[in-house]
Amino acid sequence: MGPVHLIVGLGNPGTEYENTRHNAGFLVVERLASRYRSSWSQERKMQSRLAKAEVAGRKVWLSQPQTFMNLSGDAVGRLVDFYQIGTEQLMIVVDDADLPLGQLRLRPSGSSGGHHGLESIENRLGSRVYARQRVGIGRIATGEREIRNYVLGKFAADEKRVLEQVLDRAADQLEDWLQRGIQGAMNQFNGAVSAPLPKDSE
């Protein structure tokens, strides 16, 4: 079976945050869990919702931290310690406002880019060397750095068709990472999924 892998989708718990842009990580791991008919359970000791799957012969835990975004490292740290997850078996899925909607970017390491969830994980693990899949959510046209209201808003109706493609492609990339490793998954799936369709286009 090999080592256990951990895929953590970042987001905020609670119905008021469901289907918001900042919860793109939650949406990706939910899509992956649905493919394998994995059921979610609330694990208070781990500060997470967890689902278990077997993908490409590998045992995988899927996680949605319940700590709120800025404290994601608390949940990730507990899971890494308990399941003895090495950095090569850890994947963080996160929204990225600096990538257009429809873009995926998988990397083996890197900076937080100002994302508070990644900052929390970096501080808890004491390292930037862990894989992260960035899911583009776009940015408001003004280009302002203060985008709290935007990222906590829900996807617009004309974004949802592209979002569905993104979630499927992100899940495909995670499966490929488990099967072939990060380099192959980067080469195969990084980049644009599709350009948003005009509202009057059918």
Beta partners for residue 169, in sequence order:
none
Strand order in the sheet with 41-43: 41-43, 48-55, 58-65, 5-9, 90-96, 131-136, 103-107, 191-192
For this structure, is 22 an active site residue?
Answer: yes
Which domains are assigned to the chain? 5-192 (3.40.50.1470)
Helix (H) or strand (E) holding 117: helix 116-125
Query: Which of 5, 22, 115, 116 does the annotation list as catalytic?
Result: 22
Give average pLDDT by consecutive 10-residue segment, the chain, 202 residues.
89 94 97 97 97 93 97 97 95 95 96 93 96 90 62 90 95 96 97 61 41
pLDDT of residue 1: 56
- The answer, as to whether pTM is greater than 0.75, is yes
Q: What is the pLDDT of residue 194?
A: 57
Per-residue pLDDT, 52: 97
